Structure 1
Amino acid sequence: MGETTADREWGEPPLASLPPLFRSCIAFVSYTFRDLLSWDLVGME
């Protein structure tokens, strides 16, 4: 079966269409959130 436009669009990462500033904000938030989660896990042990 041939590849449709929808398949191509969904195949690409959604962040690619966002502005660089928005992308870096998301990256920063997710990085910080992951840091907090790891600290929580360390504190629970």
Structure 2
Amino acid sequence: MGHAGAIISGASGTGAAKIAAFKDNGIFVCENLGQIGQVCKDVF
């Protein structure tokens, strides 16, 4: 999701904005740790 020095400004740089950008670019995103296994299975 980023690093300790990441800049948060307005609506950009938030966790929700990063998740939306990932999804918009075809990156698989787990909404919670319980989804990791299923998402990995779906991807691979």
Q: TM-score, normalised by structure 1?
A: 0.28
Q: Which has the higher contact order (CA 8 A, sep 6+)?
A: 2
Q: Which has the larger radius of gyration?
A: 1
Q: TM-score, normalised by structure 2?
A: 0.28
Quick check: which one's helix share is greater? 1
